[in-house]
Amino acid sequence: MVPWAVAAGTVAWGLAGSWRAEHMRNYPWNVWTPIGYGAAKGVVLGLLAGWCAVWFLRLGKSSTQPGGSRARLAGLAFTGGLLAGITPGTIRDFTGPPQPRTLYYFDEPRPDAEWYWQPLLSEWLTYTVLPALGCALALTAAALLAARSSRRDALGWAVLATVGVGLLLLPHYATAGLPQAEGNGDHVNESATAAMAVWGTGLVVLVGSLVLRRRMRRAASTA
């Protein structure tokens, strides 16, 4: 279940970053960077959501009744995934400094009176709640399918490998057609830093897929 959660988180927060990139004004040089950072963040949050969903399922396993097993399975997976995906962003949004991250690139942090309520709730719903909800729904569907599949463990490493390869290719395709970075060196450095973060995350995911595959082979050989 955890590999599917990583894939779901990568897609969900990557799409949120894409939405941010499309609606960010006065940000002409590195408009792809929210996509890259969103996808990389989605790996971490998806991993957290998967672990939390598994933990919820293990806690409820002993009290699961045969008649309501599938509904209980879906509810536990969804609750665990949603709570894990929504908590970090919620803490950041409601306890951090007022910052309109999607309005103007060069804008200064807003006063509390101009930030809380509508702007803050809009940011929270768009970039925290919706991706977490999408990840939790995908995780729930994966949990239900995995419960009926005899090859659920065999697909985990392939899912992680696909995510890793996708992250390695993301900077190239996300920047296709965009103008070259201009202005001071910070603009060029921002784009390079984002690419390094995405590539590093992709390599970690690929290594994780290889480790998972090796463990599966060892388990199969000793069975």
Q: What is the pLDDT of residues 76-105, one digit of tens each?
A: 889 999 999 999 999 988 887 776 555 445
Higher pLDDT, 68 or 141: 141
pLDDT in tens, 117-176: 887 888 889 899 999 999 999 989 887 877 666 555 567 888 999 999 999 999 988 877
Percent of the chain at pLDDT exceeding 90: 36
- What is the spatial distance between Cα 16 and Cα 126, in angstroms, rounded to a whole number? 7
Q: pLDDT at residue 212 above 70?
A: yes
Q: How many helices (H) and strands (E) does the chain have?
A: 8, 0
Task: Please list, residue by residue across 194-221, b when 16 or more beta carbons sit within 10 angstroms of its beta carbon and e when fewer do.
Answer: bbebbbebbebbbebbeebbeeeeeeee
48 against 109, higher pLDDT? 48
Domain range list for the chain: 2-222
Average pLDDT, the chain: 81
26 pLDDT above the threshold of 90: no
Of residues 36 and 62, the one with the higher pLDDT is 36
Q: Which pLDDT score, from 0 to 100, does residue 183 have? A: 58
Q: What distance in Å separates the CA atoms of residue 31 and residue 69, rounded to the nearest whole number?
A: 46
Number of Cβ atoms within 10 Å of the Cβ of 58: 11
Q: Does 28 score more than 70 pLDDT?
A: no
The whole-number pLDDT of residue 129 equals: 95
Q: Report pLDDT for 13.
A: 95
Q: Is the confidence at residue 192, as pLDDT, over 60? A: yes
